[in-house]
């Protein structure tokens, strides 16, 4: 009677194992809940801060008047328009380039040496610091001509928008089932038609998501514009001259010591954030809630 | 009734002929177009590197290799070095990853395995939205919300608790300004957590449900499914997401500029004001006239930042290929 039977020992061990497994599961579950709560809390805190500080300053003047020295009741109209123009130019240049590159990677390059290089470089650009893009454009488009311009801002934003579109386009095209391509080819369609009108169309939701995400990303960019379009406190639609943009105006105002500038910075911040978030929400609702 | 008839209608030789000749020119033309665009991407990066190196050459030539190890940044004596901002960049990004990776993993785990589908889609959306908030907003939030909390509560508490412990006291030393490396790391973590989470979640969700279901069918707990099925399956995407976050953290400018404290000193205190390469460029560029040694130094720093990003991405690719190989062997 000094030794327990092997079967009892096994039962003991398996119970201990079960407890250990359950404890590990509970711990992981608890950790998951805490992590989720922290992330949601952070978003809540940011939105609450923006609303509390930004709502009081929202007025019609903000949309109708250009920037003005402190105390003169200015607005952000020129910055809003400048932001739209530069973002528009950036996406107009960046999205087609990204689409074509994405098509090249998914359909033509596949695993060739060139494609692997392009993919790597595109990833490099995706994570390339945006301020360096600004510095680069400053050196090639601002310094040689001697003046800052909205065009150079738009080009800087295009370089940032492109890799996002490349990535999503390639990822999406790779999801298209081979049978769909085969069906297209069997019907006698040339490859470019199969790509553009069958594959790309099948995943247009995902590709649009990529483009809109690129819009949302560059619309709120500050760093690449600091050295390219510089900012402009006057009303200007001329893209060959320095041009205001909302984020740069916010940066300028938030660092100031004037009460009304601070208030406008918060209102501008609220505007940018709401604009960007609305695009994101539209994208996700438009693609029917995404994958979940 | 007329649909089958139309399908069976013979294609006239004429139509077939134009279609074929169109294909003969259109296909190679399209191929050429996309290839050229692809190569243009290479050219853009090449140009960025060339401009940085070329512009920064003046600084490299003036200071020699000492530029890399000198922590001087003195416009008066025209002496510049890269060590301090490089240090700030690496430490703040490392702190950010340390905070963000577990947070992102936990959230992605919650979203894919724990939450009821309807709740998960709402919270998942919230996470996506946090990823979309422009970086300057994080900077303002950091400066006006996080910095006071760190200055009034976190640092005094840590100082009180660890101030007399031999090694840790160095980490918490310094005046409670609220700005500095830890604050920057925290803001960066908040910024990159959602993007890492989003990638992780997409990767987890893209796994065929059959694999997950079979593991559950064998009696595995949710954590075991995550640990033993989902994680090995999605290693590539995970590392990809983390690298994406790290790249963003290292190059992030606006958010860091608000909270880093703008000081070119190397200090081991988590609360010491510092500078990252990006924040230094943003802060110093306006006072760097074209052709000056200072602008050259900033461009040289830009080249270094490019090099760091390059090496990180390359390293992660290497890790990935290794991970893939072991994954296949198992």
Residues A85 and A32 in one domain: no
Q: Which residues of A touch B22 (CB under 8 A)?
A: 190
Q: Which pLDDT does position B73 carry in this prediction?
A: 87
* Whether A125 and B45 lie within 8 Å, measured CB to CB: yes
Q: How many CB pairs under 8 A join A and B?
A: 270
The string of pLDDT tens digits covering residues A93-142 is 999 999 999 999 998 987 899 999 999 899 888 878 889 999 999 999 99
φ, ψ for residue A62 (rounded to 5)?
Answer: -60, -35
Q: Which residues of B touch A265 (CB under 8 A)?
A: 140
Q: Which residues of B touch A135 (CB under 8 A)?
A: 52, 281, 285, 298-299, 302
* Whether B117 and A292 lie within 8 Å, measured CB to CB: yes
Instruction: Scan residues 197-216 of B and list those with Cβ closer than 8 Å to A.
Output: 197, 202, 205
The residue written with tokens 């001087």 in the block is: B72
Residues A19 and A87 in one domain: no
| Domain CATH number, residue A131 | 1.10.3720.10
Task: Give me the residue spans of the domains in chain B.
Answer: 66-329
A241 within a domain of the structure (yes/no): yes
In this structure, the number of other CB atoms found within 10 A of the CB of residue A35 comes to 22
The residue written with tokens 């950790």 in the block is: A31
Q: Which letter does DSSP use for residue B285 in this model? A: G
* Whether B27 and A190 lie within 8 Å, measured CB to CB: yes
The string of pLDDT tens digits covering residues B274-313 is 899 999 999 988 888 888 899 999 999 999 999 888 887 7
Nearest-CA distance B24 → chain A (Å): 9
Length of chain B measured in residues: 330
| CA A280/CA A274 separation, integer angstroms | 10
Closest-CA residue in chain A for B129?
A277
Task: Using a CB–CB cutoff of 8 Å, tell me whether B141 touches chain A.
Answer: yes
Q: Which residues of B touch A24 (CB under 8 A)?
A: 221, 223-224
Pick the residue of B7, B30, B41 with the most A CBs within 10 A to test the interface with A by mutation: B41
In this structure, the number of other CB atoms found within 10 A of the CB of residue B22 comes to 12
Token pair for residue B270? 């988590």
Q: Which pLDDT does position A5 carry in this prediction?
A: 67
When CB atoms are compared, the residue of A46, A124, A284 closest to B309 is A124
Q: Give me the residues paired with residue B261 across strands.
A: B274
In this structure, the number of other CB atoms found within 10 A of the CB of residue B274 comes to 28
| CA B261/CA B271 separation, integer angstroms | 9
**Residue A9 CB-density burial (10 A; 0-12 exposed, 13-18 middle, 19+ buried):** exposed
Q: Which run of H or E residues covers position B79? A: strand B79-80
- How wide is the angle at C-alpha A51 spanned by C-alphas A45 and A54, nearest 5°? 125
A164 within a domain of the structure (yes/no): yes
* Whether B52 and A135 lie within 8 Å, measured CB to CB: yes
DSSP string covering A265-281, please? HHHHHHHHHHHHHHHHH
A292 within a domain of the structure (yes/no): no
DSSP string covering B138-186, please? HHHHIIIIIHHHIIIIIHHHHHHHHTTSTTHHHHT-S---S-SHHHHHH
Q: Which run of H or E residues covers position B74? A: strand B73-74
* Whether A39 and B103 lie within 8 Å, measured CB to CB: yes
Ramachandran sector of residue A58 (left: φ over 0; alpha: ψ -120 to 50; beta: rest): beta
A291 within a domain of the structure (yes/no): no
* Whether A128 and B224 lie within 8 Å, measured CB to CB: no
Q: Which residues of A touch B113 (CB under 8 A)?
A: 32
The string of pLDDT tens digits covering residues B13-37 is 445 445 555 557 888 899 999 999 9
Q: Which letter does DSSP use for residue B10 in this model? A: P
Total domains present in chain A: 2
* Whether B136 and A251 lie within 8 Å, measured CB to CB: yes
Token pair for residue B275? 């500078």
* Whether B110 and A277 lie within 8 Å, measured CB to CB: no
Q: Which pLDDT does position B20 carry in this prediction?
A: 55
* Whether A28 and B299 lie within 8 Å, measured CB to CB: no
Q: What is the ipTM of this complex?
A: 0.86
| CA B100/CA B246 separation, integer angstroms | 10
Closest-CA residue in chain B for A146?
B290
Nearest-CA distance A1 → chain B (Å): 35
Q: Which pLDDT does position B64 carry in this prediction?
A: 86
Residues A120 and A227 in one domain: yes
Confidence category of residue A3, pLDDT binned at 50, 70, 90: low
Q: Which pLDDT does position B321 carry in this prediction?
A: 63
- How wide is the angle at C-alpha A273 spanned by C-alphas B45 and A283, nearest 5°? 75
Task: Using a CB–CB cutoff of 8 Å, tell me whether A281 touches chain B.
Answer: yes
Domain that holds residue A91: 62-286
Query: How much is the mean pLDDT over chain A?
Result: 88
Nearby residues of B35 by Cβ (< 8 Å), 6 or more positions away = A104, A108, A109, A114
The series of mean pLDDT values per 10 residues for chain B, 330 residues long, is 44 50 76 93 94 91 87 86 90 93 93 89 87 90 92 87 82 82 93 87 83 90 90 81 82 90 84 90 87 90 89 73 47
A1 within a domain of the structure (yes/no): no
Q: Is residue A291 scored above 60 in pLDDT?
A: no
**Residue A75: helix, strand or coil by DSSP?**
coil
Q: Is residue A286 scored above 80 in pLDDT?
A: no
Residues A122 and A243 in one domain: yes
| CA A107/CA B59 separation, integer angstroms | 44
Closest-CA residue in chain B for A212?
B132
* Whether B130 and A39 lie within 8 Å, measured CB to CB: yes
Closest-CA residue in chain B for A194?
B27
Pick the residue of A127, A155, A157, A195 with the most B CBs within 10 A to test the interface with B by mutation: A127
**Residue B103 CB-density burial (10 A; 0-12 exposed, 13-18 middle, 19+ buried):** buried
Give the range with max mean pLDDT: A159-163, A214-218, B16-20. Answer: A159-163
Residues A105 and A244 in one domain: yes
| CA A44/CA A31 separation, integer angstroms | 20
In this structure, the number of other CB atoms found within 10 A of the CB of residue A220 comes to 25
Instruction: Scan residues 22-51 of B and list those with Cβ closer than 8 Å to A.
Output: 22-23, 26-27, 30-31, 33-35, 37-42, 44-45, 47-48, 51
Which residue in B312, B259, B264 sits closest to B284, CA to CA? B264
CATH number of the B66-329 domain: 1.10.3720.10
A143 within a domain of the structure (yes/no): yes
Nearest-CA distance A73 → chain B (Å): 22
Which residue in B329, B318, B128 sits closest to B236, CA to CA? B318
Q: Which residues of B touch A46 (CB under 8 A)?
A: 130, 133, 137-138, 141
Closest-CA residue in chain B for A215?
B132
Residues A129 and A27 in one domain: no
Token pair for residue A130? 């945006």
| CA B253/CA A128 separation, integer angstroms | 11
Q: Which pLDDT does position B25 carry in this prediction?
A: 83
* Whether A132 and B19 lie within 8 Å, measured CB to CB: no
Token pair for residue B313? 């991405």
Specify the long-range contacts of residues B56-61, CB closer than 8 Å, at least 24 apart.
Answer: B56/B296, B56/B297, B56/B298, B56/B299, B56/B300, B56/B301, B56/B302, B56/B303, B57/B296, B57/B300, B58/B293, B58/B296, B59/B293, B59/B296, B59/B297, B59/B299, B59/B300, B60/B300
Task: Using a CB–CB cutoff of 8 Å, tell me whether A38 touches chain B.
Answer: yes
């Amino acid at each position: 009677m000094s030794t327990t039977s092997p079967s009892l020992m096994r039962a003991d061990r398996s119970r201990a194992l079960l407890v250990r497994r359950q404890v590990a599961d509970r711990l992981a579950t608890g950790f998951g809940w805490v992590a989720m709560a922290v992330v949601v809390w952070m978003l809540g805190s940011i939105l609450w801060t923006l609303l509390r500080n930004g709502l009081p300053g929202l007025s019609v003047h903000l949309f109708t008047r250009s920037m003005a020295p402190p105390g003169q009741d200015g607005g952000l109209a020129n910055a809003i328009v400048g932001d739209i123009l530069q973002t528009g130019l950036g996406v107009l240049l960046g999205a087609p380039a990204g689409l074509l590159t994405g098509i090249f990677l998914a359909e033509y390059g596949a695993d060739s040496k060139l494609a692997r290089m392009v993919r790597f470089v595109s990833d490099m650009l995706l994570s390339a610091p945006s301020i360096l893009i600004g510095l680069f454009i400053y050196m090639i488009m601002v310094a040689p001509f001697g003046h800052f311009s909205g065009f150079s801002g738009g080009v800087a934003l295009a370089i940032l928008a492109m890799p996002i579109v490349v990535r999503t386009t390639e990822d999406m095209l790779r999801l298209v089932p081979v049978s769909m391509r085969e069906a297209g080819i069997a019907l006698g369609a040339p490859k470019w038609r199969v790509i553009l009108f069958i594959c790309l169309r099948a995943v247009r939701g995902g590709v649009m998501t990529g483009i809109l995400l690129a819009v949302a990303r560059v619309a709120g960019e500050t760093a690449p514009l600091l050295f390219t379009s510089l900012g402009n406190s006057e009303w200007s639609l001329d893209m060959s001259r320095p041009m205001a943009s909302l984020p740069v105006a916010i940066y300028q105002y938030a660092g100031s010591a004037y009460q009304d500038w601070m208030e406008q910075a918060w209102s501008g911040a609220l505007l940018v954030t709401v604009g960007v978030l609305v695009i994101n929400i539209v994208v996700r609702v438009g693609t029917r809630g995404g994958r979940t | 009734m007329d649909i089958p008839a139309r399908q069976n209608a013979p294609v006239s030789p004429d139509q077939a002929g134009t279609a074929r000749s169109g294909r003969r020119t259109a296909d190679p033309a399209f191929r050429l177009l996309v290839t050229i665009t692809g190569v243009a991407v290479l050219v853009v990066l090449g140009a960025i590197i060339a401009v940085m190196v070329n512009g920064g050459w003046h600084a490299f030539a003036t200071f020699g290799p000492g530029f890399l190890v000198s922590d001087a940044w003195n416009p008066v004596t025209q002496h510049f070095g890269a060590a301090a901002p490089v240090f700030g960049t690496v430490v703040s990004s490392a702190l950010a990853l340390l905070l963000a990776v577990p947070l992102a993993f936990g959230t992605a785990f919650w979203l894919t395995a724990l939450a009821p589908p309807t709740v998960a889609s709402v919270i998942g959306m919230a996470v996506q939205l946090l990823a979309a908030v422009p970086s300057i907003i994080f900077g303002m939030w950091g400066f006006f919300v996080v910095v006071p909390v760190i200055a009034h509560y976190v640092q005094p508490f840590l100082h009180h608790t660890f101030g007399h412990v031999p090694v840790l006291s160095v980490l918490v030393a310094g005046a409670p300004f609220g700005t500095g490396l830890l604050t920057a790391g925290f803001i960066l973590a908040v910024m990159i957590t959602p993007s890492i989470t989003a990638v992780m979640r997409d990767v987890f969700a893209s796994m065929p449900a059959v694999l997950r279901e079979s593991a559950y069918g064998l009696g595995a707990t949710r954590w075991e499914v995550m640990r033993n099925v989902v994680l090995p399956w999605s290693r590539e995407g995970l590392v990809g997401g983390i690298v994406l976050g790290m790249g963003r953290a290292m190059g992030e400018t606006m958010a860091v500029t608000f909270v880093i404290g703008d000081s070119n000193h190397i200090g081991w205190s988590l609360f010491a004001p510092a500078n990252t390469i990006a924040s230094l460029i943003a802060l110093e560029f306006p006072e760097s006239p074209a052709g000056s040694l200072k602008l050259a130094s900033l461009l040289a720093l830009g080249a270094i930042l490019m090099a760091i990003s390059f090496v990180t991405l390359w390293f992660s690719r290497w890790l990935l290929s290794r991970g893939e190989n072991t994954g296949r062997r198992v």
